[in-house]
Amino acid sequence: MTDLTNPKILLAITGGIAAYKSAVLARLLIKAGCSVRVMMTQAACEFVTPLTFQALTGQAVHTELLDETAELGMGHIELAKWADVVVIAPASANTIGKLAAGLADNLLTTVCLATNAPILLAPAMNQQMWSNAIVQDNLAKLQKFGYHIISPDSGEQACGDVGAGRLPEPEQLCEQILHFLTTQNTAQTLAGKTVIITAGATLEPIDPVRFLSNHSSGKMGFALAKACHDAGATVSLIAGRRVALQTPFGVERIDVGTADEMLAACQAKMRDDEQMIFIATAAVADFKMANIASQKIKKTAGSDGLTLELIKNPDILATISEQFPNAFMIGFAAETQDGETYAQNKLDAKNLDMIAVNDVSDSSIGFGSDDNAMTVFFAKKYARSKVQLPKAPKATIAKQLVSCIAMLTTKLNLI
Ligand SMILES: Cc1cc2nc3c(=O)[nH]c(=O)nc-3n(C[C@H](O)[C@H](O)[C@H](O)COP(=O)(O)O)c2cc1C
């Protein structure tokens, strides 16, 4: 089991023009808490010097198969055993060919044959080379043998061509590597499930420049989206437009404004089967304007004040629950008083499987904060009625909620 607080990453660099991006990647991985060691092919050393990586990682860079400084002169075996994961970025067409042929004629190819660790390979080359059938055949072969391929980006290339074959940006690569490590070390309890999550605040226009909204940051929904995806689910995140958070890697994000738009986006994504899980964390406005003013409302519109006529918004959770009765439904309730009674009523009235209640009158948890604490209530058909999740970072609470969902959706009783 990899220590996810300090994973050991062996970064392998081959001779491609994108080798400069690997310097930023090494830095980002270290910043994210990884231990990074670097090995380079001779061609890679023509593009970026080993000194750059030595300075960035604080470690000697490995370039030679015959390493007299290594214990027993077998540096390749030491490196192969040290790594939790080997990341080849960029991976040249040449090295891909050698690996597919099972060659071991330099340090990199020898380590790849000698290691037990998973190997992530990020091809980067000219678009014509990328579309060459031999390269594609080699990649398919490597995939068959367990290599994990990081797809290249499309766009303008260093040689002036436009097309597929660009190395993804270091930030994206870093995210993919960290996500890979997480999934490798997280039980895939939601594999095969599709999760739709709403998050953040809706926004109800008053006139062309003003709107009604609330303080929801979307943090809990985004943390849940990541936790569900890490547990193997396919996740769509339907987010209020003002949520200023980075979308978790691998999660589809759909930005919406009003409650009506949020409902329509949910309906478009839902299916009525037992593999669907619907999680409603969004703080949806209960009311919207009866008529949105087509022009900016002037200060002079009312003498001493202004009355806005509001009408009820659709209840997204209740509507989805009614339209998709086979889906597993989870509600959230942010309450300032009497949370338990309200939660029990909502659980029954909306036919939910689970409801998570937090007390937003405590400003150290809930809206905008990084921590949360909640009580989770379960529908009567389950063996246990509730579970208390004490104050913890939202990422931790999200993982605990995923455990609850996994146990209920796999029809196990909560311990
Ligand atoms: C300026 C220049 C840029 C190159 N860029 C790439 C590249 O992006 N991808 C690639 O597969 N090969 C590229 N090559 C060719 C490789 O450097 C060459 O195939 C080399 O043998 C790769 O060796 P290696 O796989 O051992 O690192 C480039 C060559 C030159 C001269």
Q: What is the DSSP string of 141-161?
A: HHHHTT-EEPPPEEEE-TTS-
Instruction: Tell me what the pLDDT averaged over the chain comes to.
Output: 92
Q: State the distance from the centre of ligand 1 to the C-alpha of 66, rounded, in angstroms.
A: 23
Least confidently predicted of 191-195, 294-298, 341-345? 341-345
Q: Do domains 8-184 and 194-409 have the same CATH topology?
A: yes
C-alpha dist (Å) from residue 123 to 15, 127, 206, 242, 259: 11, 11, 50, 36, 43
Would you place residue 72 in the very low, low, confident or very high pLDDT band (cuts 50, 70, 90)?
A: low
Q: Delimit the domains of the chain by residue range.
A: 8-184, 194-409
| Mean pLDDT in residue range 56-85 | 85
**Residue 115, pLDDT above cutoff 70:** yes
Question: Locate tokens 């959770």: which residue?
Answer: 317
> Is-contact 20 52, C-beta < 8 A?
no
Q: Is the shortest distance between the CB of 238 and ligand 1 below 6 Å?
A: no
Distance from the CA of 159 to the center of ligand 1, in angstroms? Answer: 12
**Which residue in the block uniquely carries the two structure tokens 């290249």?**
152
Mean pLDDT of 360-373: 72
First-to-last CA distance in the chain? 25
CA nearest neighbour of 124 among 175, 156, 90, 100: 90
As beta bridge partners, residue 376 has: 356, 387
Tell me the pLDDT band of 194, cut-offs 50, 70 and 90. very high
The fourth-level CATH superfamily of domain 194-409 is: CoaB-like (3.40.50.10300)
How confident is the model at residue 305, as a pLDDT?
87
Span 323-366, pLDDT tens digits: 999 999 999 987 777 778 888 888 999 999 999 998 766 666 65
Rounded distance, CA 301 to CA 90, Å?
63
Which of 176-180, 183-187, 189-193 is predicted least confidently? 183-187
pLDDT-above-90 percentage for the chain: 76
Model confidence pLDDT, tens digit, residues 207-251: 999 999 998 899 999 999 999 999 999 999 999 998 999 999 999
Q: pLDDT tens digits for 27-48? A: 999 999 999 999 999 999 999 9
Which residue's CA is the nearest one to ligand 1's atom 29?
A: 16
Percent of the chain with pLDDT over 70: 94
Known catalytic residues are 159
Give 254-274 pLDDT, tens digit per residue.
999 999 999 999 999 999 999
Tokens linked to 414: 């909560």
SS3 182: helix
Is residue 167 lining ligand 1, measured as CB closer than 6 Å?
no
SS3 315: coil
Strand partners, 198: 238, 280
Average pLDDT of the residues in 151-165: 90
Whether residue 339 contacts residue 359, with contact meaning beta carbons closer than 8 Å, is answered with: yes
How many A from CA of 92 to the centre of ligand 1? 6
Residue pair 71/78 in contact by the 8 Å Cβ criterion: yes
Q: What's the CATH class of domain 8-184? A: alpha beta
296 is in an annotated binding site: yes
